[in-house]
Amino acid sequence: MLAGLSVDYYGRLERGNLAGASESVLEAVARALRLDDAERQHLLDLARRADPPRPRRPSRKKASSMPREAVFSILAGLTIPAYVRTPRMEIVAANEL
C-alpha cells in the first residue's frame, strides 16, 4: 500500500519479475522500503538487467549484394544446381551446374 501498488503486482516484483517495471514504480518501492542510495541503485540496476533488449528495426541501408567468399566455396562444392538470391529475388551467385 505504501508504494501504491497492487498486492499482486508487488508480489511479482518481489519474486524478481522486474521486466517492464517503470522507473516511477521502482522509485515508489524504494521510498516505501526506505532504501538508501546504494540499495535504490541496486534495485534499478536489477530492473535494467531484467528488461529484455528491444528488437532492433532492420535498417533501411542497402545490404551488400555480394556474398561472402565462404558462400562461393559452398556453391562450388555442391553437386546440384544452386544459387543465392536477395530478398528481392535477384540472383547474386550461382554454381556452374
Which cell numbers in the block locate residue 33?
522500503
DSSP single-letter state for residue 89: -
Q: Taking residues 10-26, report their average pLDDT.
A: 82
Q: Give the Cβ contact number of residue 18 at 10 Å.
A: 20
Span 58-71, pLDDT tens digits: 655 555 678 888 88
The predicted pLDDT at position 18 comes to 76
Q: What is the pLDDT of residue 34?
A: 92
